[in-house]
Structure 1
Amino acid sequence: MTIALRHARVRYGPLEALHGITLAAPSPGLTVLLGRNGSGRTTALRALAGTVPLSGGSVVWDGADVTHAPAFERARRGLCLIPERQAVFGSLTVRENLELAAPSHDTALAAYPQLEPLLARRAGTLSGGEQRMLALSRALSARARVVLVDEPAQGMSPAIATRTYELLAALDACVVVAEQRMPPALRGRPALVYELSRGAVVFGGEAGELLTGEAGGRTPRACPVDGRGSRG
């Protein structure tokens, strides 16, 4: 199973944020979208999730064109988007947030035991890192088929960030994360990487290829990527 953007274009008014990009994320597996602010990585996540419409191209999930499927329908099919901001229901308690994903808290608390003493707290009063843990634990409890996360470890301590990437990498799902740079916790792990710049894909390949190019002081070579996810 894969979820893919094929020649996807997204416009915000007169500005085009994605310039016909093609990328594919396999399942199970980890895919990393890299890029600075304004590169289009967050827009690519939103396009996959259906929270922004395409002005051109398509979204294909498991061989079916879902370009015009609304975000709630994709969520119903098993897609979970964790945005960078407002990823939890601030007026609800931690316990109530978890219950929206699954009746049992066992999976969430096993992933992040730090949440247990916070169950009665309103989610809006948590620190940024605690809110990220809560948002991610909801995705883990829901057993989503596709998990899209914008900067998963934002606000977390290094130890909890490492734990977070371990949890994401171990999921039996299609996991796509958006980051400004390759997280240290993912170096050495098998992952597919796309680097975006100004709304275009400038590199597509295995993480090892990207890191080898960086270590040698070379700009990684862009790899052609077709709509089925093959790279040549």
Structure 2
Amino acid sequence: MSTGIALHQARVRYGPLEALHGVTLAAHPRGLTVLLGRNGSGRTTALRALAGTAPLSAGTVTWDGRDVTRLTPHERARRGLCFVPDRQAIYGTLTVRENLGLSAPKGDFAPALDAYPELRALLPRRSGTLSGGEQRMLALSRALLAPARVILVDEPTQGMSPAVASRTYELLMALAPDTCVITAEQRLPPGVRERASRAAVVVHELRRGEVVFSGEAAELAERPPPGP
């Protein structure tokens, strides 16, 4: 298949420790890709490598067939990449309104407030005073307001109630037919398999810094459970 953004034999080191051991994975330019794995599996590092916030010690990152390994995170953002990390994804000293204004400088917050009406009453609040789930909603609003071609989200539903988490994946799946959406999760989110008919859903499972499975979400259910 044609690829939107991809890692090729990517290696990432944190000091003496290597977090990715020659990882190769690709995300379709339109659809949802889930990087699956437990803590320490390398899924977050793979996401950061795509965003440019974790420099490669070897390998390449390509986007639309172009080598973008040396592009800074800022340059990738200018090309249409939106990265929502699992931590420090908002500016805690700014209000909710001010945070939204960074992604929508003209003040049109309607897409974010329609998606997360819970934020409407919180607009004057300092973002650092919000609950974990509220902060996650605010962080996800960046992806809804930014004109992005590639959206990377680490743990998108962390701290959310089940109802809001389900709504969040509905929103991401609504973007997927026209956008490359990549999320990092510990387990496949409920309902993703059922929504796969609306957009391509590909899963890359990582374990100890290596890819152990790549395929469609439906194929994952057919695999035997991993060994100890």
Query: Shorter-chain TM-score: what band?
Result: over 0.9
Map Cα deviations across residues 41-99 of structure 1 (whole Å, 9 max, x no partner): 00000000000110000000011100000010001111111111111010110001101
Q: Could you list the runs of 4 or more consecutive aligned residues of structure 1 that deviate by over 4 angstroms after TM superposition?
A: none
> Is residue 188–residue 208 contact of structure 1 (8 Å, CA) maintained in 2?
no
- Is 1:163 the counterpart of 2:167? The answer is yes
Report the equivalent of 1:134.
138
Query: Unpaired runs of 5+ in structure 1?
Result: 221-232
Distance 1:143 1:159 in 2: 26
Map Cα deviations across residues 160-201 of structure 1 (whole Å, 9 max, x no partner): 000000100110210000000111131323210000000000
- Is 1:189 the counterpart of 2:195? The answer is yes
Report the equivalent of 1:173.
179
Distance 1:91 1:43 in 2: 27
Distance 1:79 1:152 in 2: 16
Paired residue secondary structure (2:195): coil
Paired residue secondary structure (1:184): coil
Map Cα deviations across residues 146-165 of structure 1 (whole Å, 9 max, x no partner): 11001100000100000000
After superposition, where does 1:52-67 map in structure 2 within 5 Å?
52-67=54-69
User: Of 25, 35, 42, which aligns to 2:44?
Assistant: 42
- Is 1:148 the counterpart of 2:152? The answer is yes
Distance 1:144 1:92 in 2: 23
Distance 2:126 2:79 in 1: 29
Query: Unpaired runs of 5+ in structure 2?
Result: none
How far the C-alpha of 1:219 sits from its partner, in A, is: 4.1
After superposition, where does 1:106-125 map in structure 2 within 5 Å?
106-125=110-129
Report the equivalent of 2:221.
211
Distance 2:194 2:29 in 1: 19
After superposition, where does 1:49-88 map in structure 2 within 5 Å?
49-88=51-90
How far the C-alpha of 1:206 sits from its partner, in A, is: 0.2
> Is residue 95–residue 119 contact of structure 1 (8 Å, CA) maintained in 2?
yes
Map Cα deviations across residues 108-157 of structure 1 (whole Å, 9 max, x no partner): 10111110000000111100000010011121111211110011000001
Give the % identical residues. 70
User: Of 89, 92, 100, which aligns to 2:91?
Assistant: 89
Paired residue secondary structure (1:176): strand
Q: TM-score normalised to the size of structure 2?
A: 0.93
Paired residue secondary structure (1:168): helix
Paired residue secondary structure (2:151): strand
Paired residue secondary structure (1:188): helix
How far the C-alpha of 1:28 sits from its partner, in A, is: 1.2
Letter in 2 for 1:114: E
The number of equivalent residue pairs is 216
Distance 1:168 1:16 in 2: 31
Distance 1:192 1:131 in 2: 27
> Is residue 50–residue 70 contact of structure 1 (8 Å, CA) maintained in 2?
yes
> Is residue 91–residue 123 contact of structure 1 (8 Å, CA) maintained in 2?
yes
